[in-house]
A and B are shown apart, each in its own frame.
Chain A
Amino acid sequence: MANQHHPTPMLDELENGPWPSFISGIKRLRDEHPDDRIKNVSNDLLGQLEHSYETRKGYWKGGTVSVFGYGSGIIPRFSEVAKSFPESREFHTVRVQPPAGNFYTTDILRQLANSWEKFGSGLVTFHGQTGNAMFIGVNTTNTQSFFDEINEYGFDLGGAGPCVRTGMSCVGAARCEQSCANEQRIHRTLLNRFTDDVHRPSLPYKFKFKVSGCPNDCVNAIERSDFAVIGTWRDDIKIDQEEVKNFVAEYGRDKVHLDVINRCPSKCMTLNEDNTLSIDNGNCVRCMHCINVMTKALSPGDDQGVTILVGGKRTLKIGDLMGTVIVPFMKLETEEDYQGLVELAENIIDFWAENGLEHERCGEMIERIGLVNFLKGMGLEADPNMVNHPRLSSYIRMDEYDEAAENYLRHKMEQRQAAAG
């Protein structure tokens, strides 16, 4: 028998209006689900939530819950008002790693729904902001059973706490012509190399990988990941001049000037008299704007690879940090290329694990020790693409300037030789 329903006058207000209501969903579980356990959990969850709405306070506290063999992946929640709402006393979230790009078949979603219904509350979110599928609301005992079941058919937990976190990647090459990378392979190569660090928190703080196939950065990698992999290209933008002419015919020259030519940040485009387009590719900063507007006429070049930026994060604790370019361009074609990517990630995580303070993100460590010391630790050479402008402050000792200058010039010469074959 289900308990008597808690009254929810405030939550009821959220059933009004045209946008789908999560409150109606929880009520359906309370009223229509065949399992009394789920009915009762939903009822008490609604009761506690209504109590939060009335008193304008949250009533969950954390704790320690994990599955056998792991230390991570469950967000424990215990109710502080369990006396009034005992059925949702324990309401943990199981973080599950989704496939890169968040692809699912309806079959696998149903299978996950069945498992979740068997052990959990029946509430799920695709996805949390860290990228996990969030199975919200399970007690400590059933956490293990749910994990065992989904783990048998191919799912694993994501990260929580000071560890490598679940990765995110855009839809990418699966459906986007702007993709310059194999996001699926990058994502799985990186993440699965660090599976042990996902499951067993032992780092200074969280570490996130995100992969975007192009500089549009649809997964927000630069701002929200410690290790951002962004697809890009280094040869010329591909132009289909017939499509350019079609575009001009459709929108007019003025509109092309207004929307495309004048919005180019490096002013590297010209609309010719014959309605074809010229691009000074040496000046193009690969911002994507023109490609976004003229989707048929323009596309990224063929010599594709990735830019890597390190140290992006939000707010805590020294404020917002964007990732910093540490590798302007890296080819990702061969096994060796991917090995190089993994080694870079290993070096960064090792260095940060050694040098980071407790609760200090990688970007904050770089801010504290300076990019130069970080580069030294990584064995990376300084590159003008790493900065917005060279140093302003004249207070610096230049003890080894000559040697550094010589190294730079030698490095450039080697690059030219390599390019010339």
Chain B
Amino acid sequence: MSQPAMRPPIESGCPDGFQYMHPVMRRNFGMWKYHEHPRPGVLLHVSDMGEKIWTVKAGTQRILDVFTLRKLCDIGDQYADGYVRFTIRSNLEYMVADEAKVEPLINALEDAGFVVGGTRNSVSMISHTQGWLHCDIPGTDASGVVKAMMDELIDEFRNCNMPNRVHITTSCCQINCGGQGDIAINVQHTKPPKINHDLVANVCERPSVVARCPVAAIRPALVNGKPSLEVDEKKCICCGACYPPCPPMQINDAEHTKFAIWVGGNHSNARGKPTFQKLVASGIPNNPPRWPEATAIVKRILKVYQEDGQDWERINDWIERIGWPAFFEKTGLPFTRYHIENWRGARNSLNASTHIRF
């Protein structure tokens, strides 16, 4: 029997966005004049031609089933002329050309169990990774952590009570696919991979695995007469990068997977230059299904920032003003030798001055 003819793909690439854009946005493309923030969760944009469009932002569970997706579409058809867009933090935005529809849209979303908010100086939806639901090296279930945490931060999503906006991210390993954040909650594998030497020769392309290791801790080795790999456990920083090209190097571990919390990542150029997040807490238990310990630390950091930060200060701006010793003092988090950089460029992060607050 001959093979059925395969259909060649149509390599159309990235689709044209204009076909899916609200007509008011299409008409006023590049001609917007200013925006206002009528209430949390709502933006109003006014164009040079005087046209107006309201945006209502809603938080969802991100992992959408088709029923939920259709429900969101129904709401969009009824109140937003059938046009939506998603933000990079997986919030859904409805664009409304008629002001009279804004309140009913908010009510419809809230009645259906979605959450309106996430604008300006609120805590936005936590951007996150796939976790146990779909990833191959997850230390935890990002979706579950985010659901549990957003349950407790829902008022901060709905209201604008922070000094400036707060972006939180969660990643289920230190590769940190989840993104940058004012607060990043990342899982740390804390023990080297366990190698199943019987499988390595059949499954892994050894040179690629060796190349993958950021600290050159992996070497080819002959184990039980078979070609395999060995890990210098003193060097290994437990990142897990060897696992995807070599599943017999198991990094997932029930006991030694911990959460670490990082703060001060800010990708905007506003005020200062963009900054990466820095480690502030580690060794936090990976405790499903509600992860209360991680949530408690995030809430503590948020509370101190809310009380101590000035208007428009992002978390990194605030810490820059008060200094890191004050951050650890005010949050009550311990500062240890593990918080000090120890790689080749570490000197750049050390204090070579007498700038010390007493």
Contacts and interface: CB of A to CB of B under 8 A. Distances in A.
Interface of A: 10-11, 13-14, 16-26, 28-29, 32-33, 45, 49, 52-53, 55-62, 67-70, 75, 77, 91, 93, 97-110, 113, 116-117, 122-129, 131, 136, 147-148, 151-152, 154-157, 166-168, 170-171, 173-177, 179, 182, 184, 187-188, 191-192, 195-196, 198-199, 215-224, 230, 258-259, 263, 265, 286-289, 292-293, 295-296, 299, 314-320, 322, 357-359
Contact of B268 (A60, A68, A217, A316): A217
A58 B252 contact: yes
Contacts of A357: 211
B269 A103 contact: no
Contacts of A319: 343
13 contacts: A13-B290, A14-B147, A99-B15, A125-B90, A136-B133, A154-B15, A174-B21, A175-B95, A179-B32, A295-B34, A314-B176, A314-B177, A322-B276
A56 B214 CA distance: 26
A375 B137 CA distance: 37
A109 B6 CA distance: 27
A217 B84 contact: no
B324 interface: no
Given A57-B253, A116-B66, A195 B13 contact: yes
Contact of B179 (A49, A116, A179, A220): A220
B70 A113 contact: yes
A25 B113 contact: no
B18 to A, nearest CB: 7
A265 B175 CA distance: 32
Contacts, number: 355
A345 B88 CA distance: 24
Contact of B15 (A52, A70, A97, A147): A97
Contact of B34 (A23, A33, A152, A299): A299
Interface string B70-97: 1011101100001111111010110100
Given A58-B131, A103-B83, 20 more contacts: A28-B67, A56-B288, A61-B247, A75-B134, A77-B134, A91-B134, A98-B14, A99-B14, A100-B14, A102-B87, A103-B20, A113-B69, A122-B66, A125-B63, A125-B64, A151-B12, A154-B15, A175-B25, A258-B310, A295-B34
A298 to B, nearest CB: 9
Nearest to A167: B14
B61 interface: yes
A174 B267 contact: no
Contacts of B247: 61-62
Contacts of A263: 271, 312
A129 B34 contact: no
B254 interface: yes
B180 interface: yes
Interface in B242-300: 244, 247, 252-255, 257, 265, 267-272, 274, 276, 286, 288-290
From B33, B267, B312, residue with most partner A Cβ within 10 Å = B267
A177 B252 CA distance: 46
B154 interface: yes
Enumerate the 9 nearest inter-chain pairs by beta-carbon distance, A residue then B residue, closest first.
A17-B151, A99-B17, A25-B65, A177-B32, A52-B132, A215-B269, A56-B254, A106-B73, A317-B214
A53 B288 contact: yes
Interface stretch (B138-146, B227-235, B332-340): B138-146
Contact of A20 (B18, B61, B84, B152): B61
Nearest to A320: B276
B98 interface: no
Given A176-B45, A216-B269, A53 B289 contact: yes
Nearest to A11: B289
A199 B174 CA distance: 27
> Mostly helix, strand, loop or mixed at chain B's interface?
loop
Contact of A61 (B25, B136, B176, B253): B136
A223 B16 contact: no
Given A21-B61, A53-B132, A53-B289, A265 B271 contact: yes
Nearest to A73: B9
B9 A20 contact: no
A39 to B, nearest CB: 12
Nearest to A68: B6
A19 B133 contact: no
B117 to A, nearest CB: 11
B14 A176 contact: no
B17 A184 contact: yes
A19 B253 contact: no
B14 A191 contact: yes
